[in-house]
Structure 1
Amino acid sequence: MKRLFSIALMSICSYSQAAPSVIPLWPEGVPGAKSIGVEQVTDGRIANVSEPTLTVYGPALNKANGTAVIICPGGGYVRLSADKEGVKYANWLATLGVTSFVLKYRMKEFGHPAPLQDVLRAVRLVRSRAAELGIDPARIGVMGSSAGGHLAASAGTLFEHPLGRTGAALDATSARPDFLMLLYPVITMEGAAAHAGSRESLLGAAPDAALVRLMSLENQVNPATPPTLLVHTQADKAVPVENSILFYQALTRANVPAELYLFAQGGHGVGIRPDLGTTSDWPLRAEEWLRDQKLLIK
């Protein structure tokens, strides 16, 4: 198994393609736009986002299968781990024939519901341009890590919420993802399992109880929530494993197909790396799940 992962990792790291293209998310103007200063990019991390975009990473040559994944990097709604939890995942998905879109979304400077508007706009935009982008409009997933996992799960549970609409014509396009992939996600905003930093950055220092409940996404799962893959570790002390368990339990109650992989090793933000025992094999488990969902068939 270690050899299989090493081969896969070398393939991901050595994968090269043409420079990715960037699609503005709100060409007509960002809703609630305001001046927050210059965007900051440091060591593959992005902060102070005011102009959301999608960066497109195409599938490996001759492997395109029509599946698309919108990737939401984590960072506590303070910054985006755009390289580790964006580009590297996109390069891995490319080897599987998947077209990826790394989402650069608004964060604490705007607060809720700006990130929700951005991720739902991303789904609508990709679906509306499916033919042009060479993807199947019924095979568009959202993947996220940490706070990006919270945003991805928001897309999968709040895709019809009025706060996710801005009055644009594109609101008529469905924003429901067809599947979710959640890696060590923030899910709840309530109780001991909540990640306090993400909650404050998204909802403010003293959010209303109703808003906290709304954005505790285990409360928002229903039968329309898409099939979901969850990956987490016992060793995660920043975002406790209970977050994934709560979401999985809610999916089970709603009869939504879901798989949950809980590993022992690896603290928060494991990403794709070869030194964590069986945890390092999560991309292989994810590939198996994608195949089982018929998402890697041309």
Structure 2
Amino acid sequence: MKRPALALLFAAALPLAQAAAPDVMPLWPEGVPGARPGLGPERNEDGRTSNVSVPTLTVYGPAVDRPNGTAVIICPGGGYVRLSTQREGEQYAAWLSTLGVTSFVLKYRMAEFGHPAPLQDVLRAVRMVRRHAAELHVRADRIGVMGSSAGGHLAASAGTLFDHPLGRTGAELDAVSARPDFLMLLYPVITMDGPAVHAGSRKALLGARPDAATVKLMSVEQQVTARTPPTLLVHTQEDATVPVENSILFYQALTRARVPAEMVLFEHGSHGMGMRAGLGTASNWPRRAEEWLKDKGLLDPVK
């Protein structure tokens, strides 16, 4: 990527108070790997996005006067067949902006491409934000990935498979570290096997009959190491779509690897709750997440 192009790609690094609308950055300006031009147009309806063939990052700057330099790449959920862009992307970004955080809502490839395209997209997003941290007014050591449901699986994949060869495409940017500095996982899909699996996400990502090695690789609780970043997990006991055991499996793996982790489990709240009110104590998860971010020093002002 040539430096003159950055002025156009990264104008959205300005705070929201200075920018009329969020900017959209192409994730693969040199060309999408494995592009499939015959897929037809992208679809956007009722705040959801599907049939993605051109991945992007939409940038939301901090709304406060003193941005803290923390960046969060947001992966909306949708079972790897659609993206809940508004409820699990834009709304999260609006909340994070009030905390001084710069957010990047990721529009990633899904079932039309299958594995490893989503992994390539999220790791490319981390590399791009880290490489251009100065232009984006964020810190290269404060880049987190947040995801809900299948987006939580993608975020957890970024935190466990950041060095995997399948996440590289041969681009020059591959030399930049793709390891997130922290993870925030909301009712995430984690395992691709066993009684807790979300079969729809597995089929959309891996196909109807994936081989055993791929199932193991993408059961991300089996990929946790001491290098997996600090993680916050949020889930509910009432979740009838993605069982709470998914978060528990990941938390147990993090604990065995001695990775700092916090898990907040609520009794009430259905799957895909986003930031809805009226769900009892579960509606307070943003406050708990803010406390976790503060405890990690991620909301401290830039020095």
Class of the TM-score when normalised by the shorter of the 2 chains: over 0.9
Residue of structure 2 equivalent to 1:148: 151
> Does residue 1:271 correspond to 2:274, yes or no?
yes
What RMSD in Å do the two structures reach over aligned CA positions?
0.9
Selected match of 1:18 from 10, 17, 20 = 20
Q: How far apart are residue 277 of structure 1 and its match?
A: 1.0
Supply the distance in 2 between the matched residues of 1:258 and 1:136 (Cα, whole angstroms).
22
Selected match of 1:31 from 23, 30, 33 = 33
Residue of structure 2 equivalent to 1:11: none
Residue of structure 2 equivalent to 1:283: 286
SS in structure 1 of the partner of residue 200 of structure 2: helix
Supply the distance in 1 between the matched residues of 2:196 and 2:279 (Cα, whole angstroms).
24
Supply the distance in 2 between the matched residues of 1:281 and 1:221 (Cα, whole angstroms).
28
> Does residue 1:253 correspond to 2:253, yes or no?
no
1:272 alignment partner AA? M
1:65, 1:98 within 8 Å by CA — same for their partners in 2? Answer: yes
Supply the distance in 1 between the matched residues of 2:207 and 2:20 (Cα, whole angstroms).
40
Supply the distance in 2 between the matched residues of 1:247 and 1:235 (Cα, whole angstroms).
18
> Does residue 1:61 correspond to 2:52, yes or no?
no
Selected match of 1:293 from 292, 296, 301 = 296
> Does residue 1:244 correspond to 2:247, yes or no?
yes
1:63, 1:95 within 8 Å by CA — same for their partners in 2? Answer: no
Matched residue count = 284
Percent of residue pairs identical: 75
SS in structure 2 of the partner of residue 22 of structure 1: strand
Supply the distance in 2 between the matched residues of 1:132 and 1:109 (Cα, whole angstroms).
33
1:185 alignment partner AA? P
Measured against aligned partners, the alpha-carbon deviations of 1:206-226 in whole angstroms (never above 9, x if no partner) come to 000110010000000000000
Q: How far apart are residue 273 of structure 1 and its match?
A: 1.6
2:64, 2:99 within 8 Å by CA — same for their partners in 1? Answer: no
**Greater than 6 Å deviation, 4+ residue runs:** none
Q: How far apart are residue 274 of structure 1 and its match?
A: 1.6
1:261 alignment partner AA? V
Q: TM-score, normalised by structure 1?
A: 0.94
2:27 alignment partner AA? L
Q: How far apart are residue 61 of structure 1 and its match?
A: 3.2
Q: How far apart are residue 283 of structure 1 and its match?
A: 0.3
Q: Give 5+ residue unaligned stretches, structure 1.
A: 1-14
1:276 alignment partner AA? L
Q: How far apart are residue 57 of structure 1 and its match?
A: 0.2
